[in-house]
Amino acid sequence: MFVMELLRRKRKGCDSRVSPDELDEVLPSAEVSPLSLSVIGSHLSLEDCRRRKKKFKENVVREVVKRCKSRISGIVTAPPCGSSSLDFSGRGLKRKIGCLDAATRIGRKKKIEQDYVVGVEIGRGKFGSVRMCKSNANGEDLACKTLRKGEETVHREVEIMQHLSGHPGIVTLKAVYEDSENFHLVMELCSGGRLLDQMAKERRYSENRAANIIKELILVIKYCHEMGVVHRDIKPENILLTASGKMKLADFGLATRVSNGQSLSGIAGSPAYVAPEVLVGKYSEKVDIWGAGVLLHALLVGTLPFQGDSLDAVFEAIKKANLDFQGGVWESISAPAQDLIKRMLTKDVSARINADEVLTHPWILFYTDRTKTVSIKSIKSNARHNVGLVSRKMAIVPRLNPQRTAVASCSSLDSDLTSSYDGATGTLDSQGDSGSLVDILAAAISRVGISEPKRSRLCATTNPIAQNCSSNMKPNNLCTAF
């Protein structure tokens, strides 16, 4: 089978090289452009042409290194979070890749041991280990990820981490050292462990906490996408926590660059979290939204949405993407939360919600942005609520409304939300079935008032997430990246 065959192949990068064309973008003002080279080429022998092209490339590389050396005094990092000058074509990344050698050269001059005391191992991955380390300069505790050189993915991980580091939701890269065999990435220490381990303890999260986690994660994913990077391995194993509980996205070992509108190919991800289009072989940055959707399901339900007795069975379940929100645990999960899961785990990629739409989804706004209001226009009469024809602004206040609790019925809300939610303005417009719209808000409000112990009693998880992996399939390999 195609997928299985690909899975057997060694994890291999295929797109981290800087092509002459990319170099052209790095230095558009270089003395001789490739265009002029090709024009000249028509009057020259092939050998002459090859020689000139080679010389041109050498000049370009020399120039890039020279410019970078003069520009940077330390590790190159991404522009500050929220920078409006993000380059969607991925050119920013190419520029930084051009600077990579100069940045690592700073580390190359010294050995890591001269600047840090490297201590005990705190984690291990496919390509190396992560150890505690302490700065000689200021005593700061940090983590050092050592990656064996050789695999292209390793070089790409270093490049991408340098490119993205600086965002508060991404593990900060402090320095890069290099010896003949390894890269040593000195990173901020996330001593709070992995989100996965917290999930194993907590079993199920309240909607409030889940919404806040998903919002944080989506903000980071959005930033990665704007920086021209797709993570491709979103899962709780790769979300680390600081001592103060702040979330940090880690492990860019499977991440790849993407330019606007470019489609990706190559099987990459972790089985339980992989999007259906990855299995077909052509995909985009929306795979990260799918992964976050699987995580949202796991947070609220305590189990993974797509399961099976074998990898093939899991993949079949993913390809079908059937979600059954009936009965059991779903009775304690609000309709807006179900709606968001459904939208994030939509098989049709063009219909799948994007990062901005997740961030403005009413469920996310309700739990994470209490200053926001939802505009409800022209709500028609609803017999149960006796709402009548009204036009008003309804503040989202996370406080229990006893009257609404009694009537919180949200069985048929999903389709109504589709037609009435205006992602652009962040308003809910009830031109369709307005009774259901009231139910949406009522249901959302009523959930907030139910205390956690009560909810747990109502819907105890039958299949808790395993301690070491977010998989609950017998051979515990659903979360191993491929």
Ligand X SMILES: Nc1ncnc2c1ncn2[C@@H]1O[C@H](COP(=O)(O)OP(=O)(O)OP(=O)(O)O)[C@@H](O)[C@H]1O
Contact between 253 and ligand X by CB under 6 A: the answer reads yes
Nearer to ligand X, 239 or 296 (CB): 239
How far apart are alpha carbons 18 and 260 in whole angstroms?
17
Nearer to ligand X, 145 or 447 (CB): 145
Contact between 251 and ligand X by CB under 6 A: the answer reads yes
Please list every residue from 161 through 190 that binds ligand X, using CB under 6 A: 171, 187-190
Contact between 454 and ligand X by CB under 6 A: the answer reads no
Q: Within 376-465, where are the H helices? A: 402-407, 414-420, 434-449, 452-458
Question: Contacts with ligand X: how many residues (CB under 6 A)?
Answer: 21
Q: What is the 3-state secondary structure (H, E, C) of 183-236?
A: EEEEEECCCCEEHHHHHHHHCCCCHHHHHHHHHHHHHHHHHHHHCCEECCCCCH
* Distance of closest approach, residue 278 Cβ to ligand X, in angstroms: 16
* Distance of closest approach, residue 192 Cβ to ligand X, in angstroms: 9
Nearer to ligand X, 294 or 481 (CB): 481
Q: Could you confirm whether 233 is annotated as catalytic? A: yes
What is the Cβ-side half-sphere exposure of residue 359, based on CA atoms within 13 angstroms? Answer: 13
3-state secondary structure of 138: coil
Question: Which residues are known binding-site members?
Answer: 145
Per DSSP (E only), the strands in 350-399 are: 373-379, 390-395
* Choice from 99, 240, 289, 437 touching ligand X (CB under 6 A): 240
Q: What share of the chain is helix, strand, coil (3-state, %, to 5)?
A: 45, 15, 40
* Distance of closest approach, residue 197 Cβ to ligand X, in angstroms: 8
Stretch that binds ligand X, among 60-68, 248-256, 301-309, 355-363 (CB under 6 A): 248-256
Contact between 457 and ligand X by CB under 6 A: the answer reads no
> Within 10 A of 168 (CB to CB), how many other CB atoms are there?
14
Nearer to ligand X, 79 or 125 (CB): 125
How far apart are alpha carbons 363 and 341 in whole angstroms?
11
Please list every residue from 24 through 63 that binds ligand X, using CB under 6 A: none
Nearer to ligand X, 121 or 356 (CB): 121
Contact between 426 and ligand X by CB under 6 A: the answer reads no
> Within 10 A of 368 (CB to CB), how many other CB atoms are there?
16
CB-based contact 217:234 (threshold 8 Å): yes
Contact between 155 and ligand X by CB under 6 A: the answer reads no
CA proximity to 365, closest of 427, 415, 295: 427
* Distance of closest approach, residue 294 Cβ to ligand X, in angstroms: 17
* Distance of closest approach, residue 252 Cβ to ligand X, in angstroms: 8
Contact between 194 and ligand X by CB under 6 A: the answer reads yes
How far apart are alpha carbons 382 and 269 in whole angstroms?
47
**Catalytic residue (one of 15, 87, 115, 233):** 233
Contact between 459 and ligand X by CB under 6 A: the answer reads no
Nearer to ligand X, 102 or 272 (CB): 272
Contacts 24+ apart (CB under 8 A), 409-413: 409/439, 409/443, 410/334, 410/335, 410/336, 410/436, 410/439, 410/440, 410/442, 410/443, 411/335, 412/436, 413/335, 413/336, 413/339, 413/439, 413/440, 413/443
Residue nearest to ligand X (CB): 123
Binding mask 108-147 for ligand X (x = CB under 6 A): --------------xx-xxx--x------------x-x--
* Choice from 161, 214, 250, 379 touching ligand X (CB under 6 A): 250
> Within 10 A of 370 (CB to CB), how many other CB atoms are there?
12
Nearer to ligand X, 22 or 237 (CB): 237
Binding footprint of ligand X on the chain (CB under 6 A)? 122-123, 125-127, 130, 143, 145, 171, 187-190, 194, 237-238, 240, 250-251, 253, 481
Q: Which residues does the annotation mark as catalytic?
A: 233
